[in-house]
Amino acid sequence: MLQNMFAHKRTLSFEVFPPKKDGDFESAFQVMDELGKLSPDFISVTYGAGGSRAGKTVEIASYIQNTLGIDAVAHVTCVGSSRESLLGVAESLKEQNVRYALALRGDRPKDMTDEQFASRDFEHASDMMEFLGGSTDLIMAGACYPEKHYESFSMEADLNHLKKKQEAGAKFLISQMFFDNDYYYSFLEKAQKKGIDIPICAGIMPITSARQLGTTITLSGSSIPKALSDLIAAYGDNKDDMRKAGIDYAIRQIRDLQENGVNDIHIYAMNKPKATGEITAAIYR
């Protein structure tokens, strides 16, 4: 099964999010239809912060898997999920024929107290992976951080924890977004030295507006290279030019990755099929 997902010499995958409101499923399905036409190898579906809206993740993942016939990867977080609720989500995924889960710890949502955050059944993503690996048939993936996770003391410590994900059964990894490929090359080299040898998908986020960049940095902690900040300075005030320049930046980033032997690309599609389509049309698969 995993072999199918990574069967192509070059893998392309997308990340999408479920609709925020119940009534928005029809338009979300249309977005999935458009993204599906781009023939990704898989599409991953985010999980609401703190485990909220898990049912929506399952519903979108099910549509991708069963209606579009594309492998869906459902994100699942330990934060806000008990053992029982996780087993419930796993059962729903199984009923819907969804075999893959991206197992994450999650962050503390704004409305969650420190106590609630600390009282979760699983401390780290790898703990949840071990549990799900032992009690379900899910094939699991994990997250990785080319610029290290923001809580980690050092890259070395973060990589040791990443190795634990592989040992806990992660079959592939999806990276946090990055805008400077040099961080990614350096991360790959260090991960390889640690013995991390499962496929790693490089996370690329097209920045199509200046505002989006602000939110993105806050959420991801990724650094912004001068080339990208120059681009915002030059085009940030013009919506169309900024969109074009942001897409072009993502294309150049992916081409450079491909020229340097990185073959698994994960686009943070943000439910934007047009921008995602323009990028995929421009990159060699």
35-94 residues near ligand FAD, rule: CB under 6 A: 46-47, 49, 75, 77
Binding mask 163-182 for ligand FAD (x = CB under 6 A): -x---------x-x------
**Angle, CA of 183, 14 and 275, to the nearest 5°:** 90
Q: Judge whether 41 and 5 are in contact, CB under 8 Å.
A: yes
- Give the range of 6-14, 156-164, 187-195, 248-256 binding ligand FAD by CB under 6 A: 156-164
123 is catalytic: no
Binding mask 235-264 for ligand FAD (x = CB under 6 A): ------------------------------
- Residue 282 has φ and ψ, to the nearest 5°, of -90, -10
* 206 binding ligand FAD? (CB under 6 A): no
Q: Judge whether 263 and 271 are in contact, CB under 8 Å.
A: no
Neighbours of 174 (CB within 10 A): 24
Q: How far apart are CA 146 and CA 185, in angstroms?
A: 8
Q: Applying CB under 6 A, which of residues 130, 147, 158, 264 lies at the interface with ligand FAD?
A: 158
Q: How far apart are CA 189 and CA 199, in angstroms?
A: 13
Half-sphere exposure for 234 (CA within 13 Å, toward CB) = 11
CA 285 to each of CA 10, 12, 39, 137, 250: distance values in angstroms, whole numbers, following the listed order: 6, 8, 11, 31, 15
Provide, rounded to whole angstroms, the least separation between the CB of residue 130 and ligand FAD.
10
Binding mask 125-154 for ligand FAD (x = CB under 6 A): xx----------------x-----x-xx--
Provide, rounded to whole angstroms, the least separation between the CB of residue 217 and ligand FAD.
14
Residues labelled catalytic: 15
Chain positions contacting ligand FAD, by CB under 6 A:
46-47, 49, 75, 77, 104-107, 124-126, 143, 149, 151-152, 158, 161, 164, 174, 176, 203
